[in-house]
Amino acid sequence: MRIPSNVLQFAGADNTKVYELFTDYWNHYQAQNDSSKKFDFVQYRNEEVTGKQVAISFSEKEDAMNSALRKEIMRVAGVDIASGFPLETWASHPTINWATFAVVSALIDMILPDTIIQSIGAYTDVRSIGWGDSAAFDVSPRDLFVVSKAGRAKRMTEMKKQFKGQVVILPELRELTVAVSLYRVLAGKESLAEFVAKAVRSIETQMTLDVYNVFNTAMAALPVVSGAELRFAGYSQENLVKLGQRVTAFNGGAKAIVLGTQAALQNVLPADANYRYELESDYVKIGYIRTAFGYDIMALPQVADWTTPFSMALDDAKLYIVSPSSQKLVKLVLEGSTLSNTTGVYDNANLTQSTTLFKSWGAAIATNAVAGCITL
């Protein structure tokens, strides 16, 4: 299992088990919320007496995860949990306040990069940089040199030279403030594991929306010059094949694929109206064809738009033709690790604590690759 360097530095080489367990817990959590994808997590354990395999429930795994997190918090805080101090004494311990959300931040950093790649990896390159840094991406020209006819007594032709461009991305800080009762967390009355999982989902969703908006805006600005279009209004088999050829050719032969939400991909069908599909076909099982006209088809997981009740964030009326093996269109830069700031136990009248999580990122188009778009 790959562990980010900042998490490994925080935990130490001998204390990574709780972070690996949280990855398994997160995958189990995702499997319960998203049945469209397969997630790798431990499903069975061997019974101590009989040795038989027994299914592990999510609630059982959550209890074990919360217990492991409390031990990790105490370890990071340098507190001996075997001592006789009552629980309320620990709840107001300033070091435990810090340690709790230092562990939460490390857990978020443990799984966020892989999680975001699953959502936007087809068109996004994710990079991590240190605090205070900016990311500069060199963009090489994609044009080839002109080959000229020449006379036999001519030493050279017109000189050709190309220059690289550069795109600089400056990450912007985002904040997420929530209320949590540290007393109830330490007492096992509130699930810290569930809290972290929801924080990850919140950050991942916002990051996905930011990157998709950059990508979709760029696709809406593609040229529509007759005979050399990269954007078509209205789906047809002819338009899809034309764009697939064009994108593949101008990306140096890197094979194009078709991206879109499931609602958009169900429109990718042959021009012949006499086709038939069986009940066991991909179209019936998953809602779209996996390969059409020589091009692979990949579904983008739809994202809820939480600003408007029951609205979807990704455009169901767009098909995107890209070459992921050539160069990703969008660059996403993650700055530093996740930071947290927690108020004191007695700062609020109702004895709750507000915790603010800080995560900095930026996204922009930085590529020489060509892409196409079809509006249904």
Distance CA 348, CA 277 (A): 63
Q: What is the β-pairing status of strands 353-365 and 44-46?
A: unpaired
Q: Are 169 and 367 in contact (CB under 8 A)?
A: no
pLDDT at residue 360 in the model: 94
- What is the layout of strands, in order, in the sheet containing 372-375? 231-233, 372-375, 318-322, 257-260, 295-299, 291-292
The mean pLDDT of the chain is: 85
Q: Are 156 and 129 in contact (CB under 8 A)?
A: no
Q: Specify burial of residue 172 (Cβ count, 10 A radius: 0-12, 13-18, 19+).
A: exposed
pTM: 0.83
Would you give the DSSP letter of residue 206?
H
Task: State the pLDDT confidence band at 247, using cuts at 50, 70 and 90.
Answer: very high
| pLDDT per residue as tens digits for the range 119-150 | 888 899 998 888 889 899 999 888 888 888 88
pLDDT above 60 (res 83) = no
Residue 142: name the closest of 296, 329, 374 by CA. 329
pLDDT at residue 88 in the model: 60
Residue keyed to tokens 């029951």: 310
